[in-house]
Chain A
Amino acid sequence: DQQVKQNSPSLSVQEGRISILNCDYTNSMFDYFLWYKKYPAEGPTFLISISSIKDKNEDGRFTVFLNKSAKHLSLHIVPSQPGDSAVYFCAASNLPGGTSYGKLTFGQGTILTVHP
């Protein structure tokens, strides 16, 4: 049972345009959502997160939107740069501070390719 799903295995965009990566979840107990970027031969690197009490969080070129009723979140990257080319993972957890925070449930990942 895949509790976190990223239905697009890959996404290709032109440099300077917007990249939109999508993620759906099924478990209503998730309170906190994170996006990680992973380059080959490296561990995942934290990008941005959002709590279930918010619907938007922004950090520079990265914005995450959460639609709790639809159990859907998306990561927007504007403008996209060739260095953004990587695998992007959506992850879900309980709220920070809880005893089980840190146990992440990951989606399958989306390979983003940004063309110059």
Chain B
Amino acid sequence: SAVISQKPSRDICQRGTSLTIQCQVDSQVTMMFWYRQQPGQSLTLIATANQGSEATYESGFVIDKFPISRPNLTFSTLTVSNMSPEDSSIYLCSVRTDGNTIYFGEGSWLTVV
């Protein structure tokens, strides 16, 4: 199994600012992903965090808005840049283990005012 810790768990931010969310896993994992769940919506994949290289973004998401780092096999960060109220969402870190099981963190609840 994999235990995922996300920080912060919740935050209220001013529009125009940026927030970095951290994802720490208790064991080395094959792949790490970032998802967004907007209010009343489903989970949408933002990007795959690649270790030591640039993240792979899904359609509709760009690096300037959502820069991602993954310096090693257990840690990743997602930054939400120049925030607007439309960025108010739950941001979730997900990992795929060597055993091909997919786990999710508890999410970071972001409110932009």
Contact = CB atoms under 8 A, between A and B. Distances in A.
B is bound to A? yes
Interface of A: 34, 36, 41-46, 89, 91, 96-97, 101-109
A91 B107 CA distance: 18
26 contacts: A34-B102, A36-B104, A41-B106, A41-B109, A42-B106, A43-B4, A43-B92, A43-B105, A43-B106, A44-B43, A44-B92, A46-B101, A46-B102, A91-B43, A97-B100, A102-B31, A102-B33, A102-B95, A102-B102, A103-B33, A103-B45, A103-B48, A104-B45, A106-B42, A106-B43, A108-B41
Given A41-B106, A102-B102, 10 more contacts: A41-B107, A43-B107, A44-B92, A46-B103, A91-B43, A96-B100, A101-B96, A102-B31, A102-B95, A102-B96
Interface residues of B, number: 23
